A and B are shown apart, each in its own frame.
Chain A
Amino acid sequence: AQSVTQPDIHITVSEGASLELRCNYSYGATPYLFWYVQSPGQGLQLLLKYFSGDTLVQGIKGFEAEFKRSQSSFNLRKPSVHWSDAAEYFCAVGADSGGGADGLTFGKGTHLIIQP
């Protein structure tokens, strides 16, 4: 069965510092990988996705993620965080862009706190 692990429940980063959020997945075939962000009271916004090709993918809001097949990882990075980046971040895996008929499997999320 597919699964996603986000080992960090909370991460605190100073504004302007770099960020890396970890994501490991377990999937039987070539995965479609996603990072979503959820601000308080809001829905899930897609930051970026990986389907194939270049393993370093660029997303919105200055985020990027790198797919490493050997490590089954898809870590999210940002070189310099802004206070507005404070939110919940979810990594997800699926069979296609919508997760296939079985839907996307999400990690438990990482709560990002930005300190001044």
Chain B
Amino acid sequence: EPEVTQTPSHQVTQMGQEVILRCVPISNHLYFYWYRQILGQKVEFLVSFYNNEISEKSEIFDDQFSVERPDGSNFTLKIRSTKLEDSAMYFCASRGDGGNSPLHFGNGTRLTVT
């Protein structure tokens, strides 16, 4: 069964550094998402992306965050200048067209900001 893949599985960075989290959605999917889960807390929506532009973003997704689909397969989340509170598990998700197409999640990237 096709999967959403995320790399790396764990990233450690210093505060103030830029990080790029990478995702390869399922190949025929059209809608892409990033979610975040701070340790011990619930999964939170960050941003949705469709037709090469952001569809919606939450209040968490401030100017430090950006997303990009640089080619036909990758979907990236960039954090320009990381803060300690950005430490979390970041999940990429994708789904196909159609109102009943379910969301498929990747295994996540654990970001640790020191």
Contact = CB atoms under 8 A, between A and B. Distances in A.
B45 A103 contact: yes
Contacts of B87: none
B11 to A, nearest CB: 15
Contacts of B6: 43
Q: Is the interface of A mostly helix, strand, loop or mixed?
A: loop
Interface residues of A, number: 26
Interface of A: 34, 36, 41-46, 49, 51, 90, 92, 96-109
Interface residues of B, number: 31
A39 to B, nearest CB: 10
Contacts of B108: 42-43
A41 B56 CA distance: 28
* Most chain A CB inside 10 Å of its own CB: which residue of B4, B43, B47, B105: B43
Given A34-B103, A43-B105, A108-B42, 9 more contacts: A36-B105, A49-B102, A51-B100, A90-B42, A96-B100, A97-B98, A102-B48, A102-B58, A103-B33
